[in-house]
Structure 1
Amino acid sequence: MVMSMSRRANAWNNAPMESFFKTLKVEQTSRCRYETRAQARLDVMDWIEGFYNRQRIHSSIGYLTPCDYETRLQAA
Structure 2
Amino acid sequence: MTASAMPGTGMKSARCPRCGNSFDCGRNTEPFDCWCKSLPALPANALDPRGRCLCPECLAAAAAPAAGGAPTGGGLKR
TM range (shorter): under 0.3
Rg: which structure is higher? 1
Q: Which has the higher strand share?
A: 2
Greater helix proportion: 1
TM-score (norm 2): 0.23
Higher relative contact order (CA 8 A, sep 6+): 2
State the TM-score, normalizing by the size of structure 1: 0.23
